[in-house]
Structure 1
Amino acid sequence: MRTDSRTDGALARLARFCYRRRRLVLLTWIIAVTTVALVGFGYGAAPDNDFTGGDSESAKAQALIEQHFPEQQGDTLTLAIKAEKGIDDAATRQKIEKVIAELAGSPVTGPVMSPYQDDNLVTDDRRIARTTIPLSDKEVDKTEVKPLVDMVKRTSDDSVTFGLGGYMAEKAETPPQGPAESVGILAAAVILFIAFGSLVAMGLPIVTALLAIVGGLALMKLVGYLVPGPDFTMVFGAMIGLGVGIDYALFIVTRYKDSLQEGDDPESATVKAITTAGHAVLFAGITVVIALLGLVVMGQRLMTGVAVATSVIVLVTMIAAVTLLPAFLGFTGHKINALRLPRRTPRRDQAESTPSRQRRTLAERWAGTVQRKPVIAATLSGAVLLVLAAPTLSMRLSQPDASVQPHDRSSYTSYEILSEGFGPGYGAPLIFTTRVDSADADLRPVVAAVRGTDGIASATPPRVSKDGQAATFAAFPTTGYQDEATANLVHRLRDHVLPRASGGQAVLVGGPNAATIDLAEESGSRLPLMIAVVIAISMVLLIALVRSVTIALQAAVMNLLSIGAAYGVIVAVVQWGWLGPALGFPSAMPVTTWVPMMMFPVLFGLSMDYQVFLISRVREEYERTGDTRTAVARGLARTAKVITAAAAIMIAVFTTSLLGPDIAVKQGGLGMAVAVLIDATIVRMIFVPAVMELCGKANWWMPGRRAPKAASLSQVTVGEETRV
């Protein structure tokens, strides 16, 4: 006879309640999501994009400047001017002065110095000029700067070109995310329709995920008051929430449909779906959350905010999958297969007369092929993963600046003009600061030493703060913001030039350029620690679930290889420029600092999800047959369709980030799409069956256990019940 797994447990009781009180559950969800959305989107915390802080030298320099030079605080814009006939041409001068007057007359700007008043703002040939426009308020919104950017772009013509640069200018002209999420939802709908063959079955995962995402994103905005996060948190949270939300609902709906086909009534099928697939969803979601919280190990305030915020949306999707979805299943009942896609199915007598060897699925036949040559399959798949991962060894980290923005933007035009007229290092100034004893402190030897250093184009005279306790000056490198030579220059100044020239006095190197270098190096040094923590915790969870040390080790190694391969592809595309323009990356650039940090926990958690769904079925078959080869082949066959559909949805959702405007988000989306593709093909279809074939009975090794317990994984098996 057959008995349902955990039919009297907490999940079973929850499933029955949500099924029987479906109207109450649905109404509660609608009211809760509406309320949270109104509060969160209306009054949520603003994003915080200040990655500075901590104990880095640039952070200490910034703190010293904020304390003693308050007049230097606040954002600025930079107007770059290129005149074909020179800025002194009468018609050209009229245009330039008109633009400067409009910029100075804006309510969000302070006094503007005209380049006609200071020859230092003009090149020797008088063709290129610049000026700085201070913003009057530190809290100026990008919507207030957008009209200034538009005006500058509109005024440019063949005789004179204007470019408005600066952080707020870049933000102002960066368009919203646009249709990326909508395209992802549409792609997921098509995949679900193909997988289920029913519009009703297709709609349930999408509606469940969308409700959860709206509530989760609103909660993320409110959580920002406790742990602030940068502006990309919402975009990343939406991508992750959409992917896992649809996937989790997909697993449960698949199990529900299987139970109906086995003759269960809708309520029993719902209970089975939640106590099997729902249990797996909870484990999978918790794994993703724990992996995300591994970002806390990075010790960076904003990445902690990203970790907590994205964990919130994953938790909401988990709760929706085991409460809201059972309520929806209560409304659909047997109509889950309504509005079907016409399909040709063999007659029952034909199916029964077909030999079992011929009825084996493609996935099962493929697994058999791999298992006949496991050494070759494991060697080739491992070699492919290592080759893809090889570029990771040359990965460089940085933050995007104007030089890597699309070339039709005003901020890029400003960068291009300034680089031509004043050198590529003009946009990458180094700010030096130190404590002094009096206003008469002499920093000229330090400035001279910096000015004479190879790689420095020029340096400004030093100036002392009004309180006579600190001094500062700036220097401009000969290389740009993204150049590796600039980072090497900063280290040379800190390690050799400044200690010798200052006579032991602490002269700090700061500014946005140095802060980016410090952030990249700190992140790179802490990344191995985060990886180790995430792997260790995930392995403990997986060992507790599958009762096998061997399989947990296999999962950790395979996940590392697939993520390493994704890192390698990102380096090749973004940093080396392979297919970069075709994929929306205007020029070669270092990988954005937060992308590898964010990718690892998300991908490791998702890979563990797929590993659990596959291995749980393999273990079930092994306990039934006692043969690893048969168990792997059948387990792969039984899970191939659902894991392939889930992976396809993830790939579609992550790939749509390439349609958006944010360079860093594009990098993360591309990397995660590649990782899921590799995981669902090379790893799950080749590496896993080959390695498990090689390990044989050692797959199930667990200290202190002679043989695996029967049905130990039935509680988390997708689409299978305990057989007694």
Structure 2
Amino acid sequence: MPTETPPADGALARLARFCYRRRRLVLLSWILGVLAVSVLGFGFGAAADNAYSGGESDSARAQVLIEQHFPQQQGDTLTLAVKADRGIDDPSVRQRIEKVLAELDAAAVTGPVVSPYADPALVTPDRRIARTTVPLTGLELPKAEVVPLVDAVKAASGDGLTLGLGGEAAEKAETPAQGPAEGVGLLAAAVILFIAFGSLVAMGLPIVTGLMAVVGGVALMKIVGHVVPAPDFTVLVAVLIGLGVGIDYALFILTRYKDGLRAGDDPERATVTAITTAGHAVLFAGTTVLIALLGLIAMGQRMMTGVAIGASVTVLVTMVAAVTLLPAFLGFTGHKINSLRLPRRTLRTSGAAGAPPRERRAPAERWAGVVQRRPLVAALLAGALLLVLAGPALSMRLSLPDASVQPHDRSSYTSYEILSEGFGPGYGAPLIFATRIGSPDADLGPVIAAVRATEGIASATPPRVSEDGRAATFMAFPRTGYQEEATTELVHELRDDVLPGVADGGEVYVGGPNAATIDFAEEVSSRLPLMIGVVIVLSLVLLIALVRSVTIALQGAVMNLLSIGAAYGVLVAVVQWGWLGPALGFPTAMPITTWVPMMMFPLLFGLSMDYEVFLISRIREEYERTGDTRRAVTLGLARTAKVITAAAAIMIAVFTTALLGPDVSVKQIGLGMAVAVLIDATIVRMVLVPAVMELCGKANWWMPGRRVPRAAPPAPAGIREDARV
């Protein structure tokens, strides 16, 4: 029998009917549109902008002062580190070292290179380790210009001589492309879809829809980058989130379409029903993801604003594709949606002789019954498990990755290791002090002496005065490394206790990459609660509008916070504590990359709301039909468990492929997202939701100023209960 009649004159119904009937026009428009946007975006899109604003921090003020008065210091530099077992003065070793120095000096992208043989300060007392700075001719040099320098240094190593080339440009040059990770994720998604649908045609539609949406969305994001610049990792984040939600949204709609066909609808009616039900939930879910992403703007960081706008553009395109492109595809497939399928046997339980076989209850329906019989125990156990998983998040430390956390076969790590051995671990974490002075003869001696006398400082350089005589800088090297907590404490001690007492009226700013990383992490930590609050409030308003229940909206928010907290905890245990870190591709224990938890929260909150919207909207349909909360939860869970499980598996597959890439920060966000989706689709949706809704009973549907919805009249005789959904 056909399903209940969806709104025939609603906007979504009209849109679905138009896309179905004018499918050739819609498909051609999408193809031409994606091609045009791709040519513009990938050919003329904005370049990535990786600069992050330091606000009013000490490091930001130091940087402004240096840019104003020391313009000659603005170029990037590399550091060549040399370690010779027989000493750098061995004739054969010296010949090889000088050959490398000559190659670096002669490169088109480098400035003059000072030989360590000409400056004793560049060599350790035992003459086994040396260093020198290799100035580059500009900022953000193309990767191809730096790779030959790294290759030359690597080729010269061996036979008792080890050389390493460090610096941000060298790290980028050595970092390989992301590789086939997204392809692996797509392959895994295809396998999951085929298992879920058992049909190659049904498997292909969500993938093709998601791919077209992501290509168009990323290209459009690059065009928007001319107005709102975004960092380079935005593309990867957009691809991960776009593929995940794009395939999932198509999966939700396609599942409802197949339900309609099974109930006896013709393809057009099934399409309209799917778009007005699952498509409606998709639009609400996608809007929640957009709101969550745009919450990043509350961080007040230009970099994060660029990420928010760029990723939101991709999600918006996937939403539009789900309710326009997919209906057009369904118009072409019609009843052939199940074509090219593997034969399956339907398991039935035999009844008495001559009686028709009885269909088994779905496993999810039986599971919901188990949870609902002991709802308090289930809720307490699930909540306790989530809190235990979230525990490590209390010790989370934020930083940005440097050479010390890179794979150990890279030249930048070799350089870090050699310099740490010869000149101390703080050599790669220098602090740059900057101050305004009244005249070129200003005495900075007391300031430098106080810094040198501070516990934790290994050495400090003499001051350098600007050409205009209005500013001076000097450097100090900590005894601890870039990623160590002691370095952060040292920076605070210098700012709070040491410098105020010796600055003599002038303000001395502590800057440099090390201090900037510390300031960025603290700014993120201070503004993160604001972003979380904005995302929760806006998402709650949207969810209340969809499910028309304050209680369920609050339940969703609390459960999402628990699952995200658990994901944070697992991330800290793996990355920061090192549990299973090497097995998952993390070379060493390291702090969490500063922008990762900031990105994870809005993404995960939005994705969790996806599952919440899809599940709760189906439960509400059942409740309005039956008036029985327990029955509604059981049926809603049973009829969405398969698709939510498949959607979650696709998300996990896509996010987990980030672990195959070379970037440790992207690995972190991939791991955190995969863990969060796994927790949300299992502990939260399968245990907490049915348990808490059972405990709340009719209070689930509380809404101020509104009566609890009544059940629909009973179905006419002969119409199956499940055919009315």
Matched residues in 2 for 1:547 and 1:501: separation? 62
CA deviation vs aligned residue, 1:377-396 (integer Å, no higher than 9, x gap) = 11110000000000111000
Q: Determine if the alignment matches structure 1 residue 342 to structure 2 residue 338.
A: no
Contact 1:227 1:302 in 2 (8 A): no
Deviation sequence 1:54-73 (CA, Å, 0-9, x none): 21110111000000000110
Letter in 2 for 1:128: I
Match of 1:101 in 2: 102
Match of 1:397 in 2: 398
Q: Give CA deviations for 1:621-672 in whole Å, capped at 9, x if unaligned.
A: 2222222222111111011001100000000000000000010000001000
* Distance in 2 of aligned mates of 1:505 and 1:475: 19
The 5-angstrom pairing of residues 195-234 of structure 1 reads 195-234=196-235
CA contact (8 A) 1:284 1:609 kept: yes
Could you list the per-position Cα deviations for residues 157-183 of structure 1 after superposition, in whole angstroms to 9, with x for gaps in the alignment?
Answer: 032111000001000010000010000
CA displacement at 1:104 relative to structure 2: 0.7
Residue correspondence of structure 1 range 367-378 to structure 2 within 5 A: 367-378=368-379
1:355 is displaced (CA, Å) by 8.2
Is 1:582 equivalent to 2:589 in the alignment? no
In the alignment, which residue of structure 2 is the partner of 1:407? Answer: 408
Q: Could you tell me whether the CA contact under 8 Å between 1:52 and 1:515 is conserved in 2?
A: no
Alignment map for 1:170-181 (pairs within 5 Å):
170-181=171-182
Match runs of 1:290-689 below 5 Å: 290-346=291-347, 353=355, 359-689=360-690
Q: In the aligned structure 2, how far is the partner of 1:262 from the partner of 1:625?
A: 19
The amino acid of 2:369's aligned partner reads: G
Q: 1:531 Cα shift?
A: 0.6
Aligned twin of 1:717: none
> How far apart, in 1, do the equivalents of 2:502 and 2:200 lie?
74
C-alpha distance in structure 2 between counterparts of 1:79 and 1:332, whole Å = 62
- Residues in 1 aligned to 2:525 and 2:650: alpha-carbon distance in whole angstroms: 31
CA distance in 2, matches of 1:123, 1:721: 80
Unpaired runs of 5+ residues, structure 1, are 712-719
Q: SS at the partner of 1:130?
A: strand
Correspondence for 2:77: 76
Distance 1:451 1:314 in 2: 52
User: Are positions 1:133 and 2:134 aligned together?
Assistant: yes
Distance of aligned partners of 1:460 and 1:704 in 2 relative to their CA distance in 1, 3 Å threshold = same
- Report Cα offsets for 1:421-471 as digits up to 9, x if no partner: 000000000000000011001101000000010000000001111001101
Deviation, structure 1 residue 568: 0.2
1:620 counterpart SS class: helix
Contact preservation (8 Å) 2:281, 2:617: no
Contact 1:198 1:339 in 2 (8 A): yes
% identical equivalent positions = 77
Distance 1:612 1:699, change over 3 A: same
The change in CA–CA distance for 1:353 and 1:697 in structure 2 (over 3 A counts) is: farther
Partners of 1:289 and 1:315 within 8 A in 2: yes
Distance 2:496 2:544 in 1: 47
Contact kept, 8 Å, 2:426 with 2:478, in 1: the verdict is: yes
**Counterparts of 2:349 and 2:332, CA distance in 1:** 30
After superposition, the C-alpha distances for 1:283-322 in whole angstroms (9 at most, x for unaligned) are 1111100000000000000000000000000000011111
Distance 2:363 2:149 in 1: 60
**CA distance, structure 2, for counterparts of residue 156 and residue 202 of structure 1:** 51
- Could you tell me which residue of structure 2 aligns to residue 701 of structure 1? 702
Structure 1 range deviating more: 439-448 or 33-42: 33-42
Correspondence for 2:189: 188
Moved more, 261-270 or 59-68: 261-270
- Encode CA deviations 1:385-408: one digit per residue, 9 max, x unaligned: 000000111000000000000000
CA contact (8 A) 1:5 1:722 kept: no
Distance 1:10 1:75 in 2: 56
CA contact (8 A) 2:12 2:275 kept: yes
Q: What does the per-residue CA deviation read over 1:312-369, in whole Å, with 9 as the maximum and x for residues that have no partner?
A: 000000111111111111111111000002211257987995787x722111111111
Q: Distance in 2 between matches of 1:57 and 1:217?
A: 36
Deviates more, 1:149-158 or 1:589-598: 149-158
SS in 2 for 1:597: helix
CA 254–595 in structure 1, closer or farther in 2 if over 3 Å, else same = same
Distance 2:92 2:623 in 1: 84
For the 8 Å contact 1:200–1:339, the answer to whether it is kept is yes
Q: Does the aligned pair in 2 maintain the 1:3–1:721 contact within 8 Å? A: no
Q: Distance in 2 between matches of 1:416 and 1:292?
A: 39
C-alpha displacement of 1:265: 1.3
Shift in Å, 1:2: 5.9
Aligned to 2:261: 260
Taking a change above 3 Å as real, the CA distance of residues 684 and 3 of structure 1, as seen in their structure-2 partners, is closer
The residue number in structure 1 matching 2:717 is none
TM-score (norm 1): 0.97
Residue matched to 1:714: none
**How many Å separate the matches in 2 of 1:547 and 1:115?**
73
Answer yes or no: is the 8 Å Cα contact 2:54–2:520 preserved in 1: no
Q: 1:220 touches 1:313 (CA, 8 Å); kept in 2?
A: yes
Q: Which amino acid aligns with 2:159?
A: D
Q: Deviations over 1:86-113 (max 9, x none)?
A: 0000000000000010011110111100
1:53 Cα deviation from its structure 2 partner = 3.2
Contact preservation (8 Å) 2:461, 2:476: yes
Aligned AA (1:445): P
* CA distance, structure 2, for counterparts of residue 624 and residue 319 of structure 1: 30
Shifted more, 345-354 versus 608-617: the winner is 345-354
- Counterpart of 2:6, as a letter, is S
Structure 1 residues 653 and 395: alpha-carbon distance in aligned structure 2, compared to 1, 3 A threshold? same
Where structure 2 has 5 or more consecutive residues not aligned to the other structure, the ranges are: 713-720
SS of equivalent residue, structure 1 residue 143: helix
Secondary structure at the aligned position of 1:77 is classed as strand
In 2: Cα distance, 1:273 partner to 1:171 partner: 47
Alpha-carbon distance between aligned partners in 1 of 2:638 and 2:94, rounded to the nearest angstrom: 74
Structure 1 residue 723 displacement after superposition? 5.9
Higher mean alpha-carbon deviation, 261-270 vs 82-91, is at 261-270
In structure 2, the CA distance between the partners of 1:496 and 1:595, relative to structure 1 (3 Å rule), is same
2-side partners of 1:621 and 1:578: how far apart? 44
Partner of 1:716: none
AA aligned opposite 1:593: T
Q: Secondary structure at the match of 1:502?
A: coil
Aligned residues: 715
Q: Answer with 499-508 or 579-588: which moved more.
A: 499-508
- 2:502 is paired with a residue whose SS is helix
Measured in 2, the distance between the counterparts of 1:305 and 1:350 equals 62
Q: CA deviation at 1:544?
A: 1.2
> Whole-Å Cα distance in 1 between the matches of residues 407 and 316 of structure 2?
36
Partner secondary structure for residue 325 of structure 1 = helix
Separation in 2, partners of 1:553, 1:139 = 47
Comparing 695-704 with 673-682, which one deviates more in the overlay? 695-704
In 2, distance between residues paired with 1:575 and 1:140?
32
Structure 1 position 3, deviation (Å): 4.5
Measure the CA separation in 1 of the matches of 2:76 and 2:238: 28
- 2:276 corresponds in structure 1 to 275
Asked whether the equivalents of residues 4 and 721 of structure 1 are also in contact (C-alpha less than 8 Å), the reply is no
Question: How do 1:25-64 residues align onto structure 2 when only pairs under 5 Å count?
Answer: 25-64=26-65
- The residue identity in structure 2 corresponding to 1:152 is V
Residue in 2 that maps onto 1:14: 15
Give the secondary structure class of the aligned counterpart of 1:479. coil
In structure 1, what is the Cα distance between the partners aligned to 2:722 and 2:172?
Answer: 53
Q: Is the 8 A contact 2:349 2:360 kept in 1?
A: no
